[in-house]
Amino acid sequence: MTTATIETDARVCAVCTGRFAQRDVAGDDICNDCFDTHSLCFDCGGWFNFNDLRHDMCPTCSVGRIGHRASKGGPNGVSWADWAEIADLASEVDFGCDFDCNGKCKSIRRGDFNCKGGHKACCVECAGNIGYLEEVPDDAVETIEALFDDNDGFWHPDGCALPHAWRSSICLGHYCSRPDKVGSKLGENAWYAFDDLVNGRGDRRVAQVRALLRNAGLLRTEQLVTIS
C-alpha cells in the first residue's frame, strides 16, 4: 500500500511556519488554514489572529497607529484651516437621523438599510478602523489618542468624542443620508454638492454649498439666500 504525499514548494507560512503545498497558497506567505483566521495589517504588513481580538486591529502596531497618521495637511489635500471650515458646515447639516433617548436613529428603529450597528449605529466599526482617520493634525496626536477607546473607538453614548474639525471625511457625511436611500432628507442636488465638498471633488466653495443646503431646508437655520 502506498501513501499519497502532498508535494510542497519552498513556501513557509508566516504564521504557523509550516510548509504548504502550491495548491494551498492563499497568499504570498500564508497557508489556507491560517488565512481563514488571520488578517493582514496594512500598517505594519504583519498577520494577526482576528479571533483573539474584540476588533479587527493589529496588536503589533495598535499603539501609536493614530500617530502614524500625523500630517501637516488635512484630508483630501486641503489645509487644516479649510478642513475646519468644511467640518463646521457638516456640523450644521440636519441629516435626519432623529436619534431617540436611547441613542437609536430612525433607521435602526424602523429596521431600514439592514443596519447591524445596534446602539452604536453608524459608529459600530469605529474602533476597528480608528475612526476611519487618514490624517490627523500633527500637533493634536496625543489629544486624539487620549480620546480613543480600544473597545468603542471615538464612539460615546453622548456622541462622537472627536471634534468635527478632526473627524474623517467618512464620518462628516453620513451614509444613510444619500438620496438613493429610503427616508433620506437631503435633497439630491444639495447632497451631491456636500458630498463632493467633503471628499475633495468639484469646485464649489463652502459658502456655495452652505447656500444649497440652506435653500433645501437642510441646515438648522433655513433662511433662503441667493446663490451667485
Per-residue pLDDT tens digits for 102-154:
667 777 777 665 555 566 777 877 887 888 888 899 899 889 989 998 888 89
Of the two residues 113 and 224, the one the predictor is more confident about is 113
Q: Give the model's pLDDT for residue 94.
A: 82
Share of residues in the chain with pLDDT > 70 (%): 68
pLDDT of residue 118: 62
Q: What is the structure's pLDDT at 175?
A: 64
Do the beta carbons of residue 73 and residue 79 sit within 8 Å? yes
Q: Give the long-range contacts of residues 81-85, CB within 8 A, separation 24 or more.
A: 83/165, 84/165, 85/206
What confidence tier does 86 reach under pLDDT thresholds 50, 70, 90? very high
Which residues does 62 contact at the CB level (< 8 Å), separation at least 6?
150
pLDDT for position 38? 76
Cα separation, 100 vs 119, in Å, equals: 11
Which residue from 103, 116, 95, 108 is spatially nearest to 195, judged by alpha carbons? Answer: 95
User: What's the pLDDT score for residue 222?
Assistant: 55
The per-residue pLDDT for 226 is 44
Mean of the per-residue pLDDT values of the chain: 75
Put simply, whether the predicted model's pTM sits higher than 0.85 gets the answer no
Within 96-176, where are the H helices? Answer: 106-110, 141-147, 169-172
Question: In this predicted structure, what is the pLDDT of residue 182?
Answer: 43
What average pLDDT does this structure show over 84-102? 84
183-190 — which CB contacts under 8 Å span 24+ positions?
183/96, 183/106, 183/107, 183/110, 183/112, 184/96, 185/94, 185/95, 185/96, 185/218, 186/93, 186/95, 186/96, 186/213, 186/216, 186/218, 187/216, 187/218, 189/216, 190/215, 190/216, 190/218
**C-alpha to C-alpha distance for 5 and 124, rounded to whole angstroms:** 47
What 3-state class would DSSP assign to 80? helix
Does residue 164 or residue 8 have the better pLDDT? 164
Contact 48, 58 (CB under 8 A): yes
Q: Using one digit for the tens of pLDDT, what is the confidence trace for 46-58?
A: 777 766 554 455 6
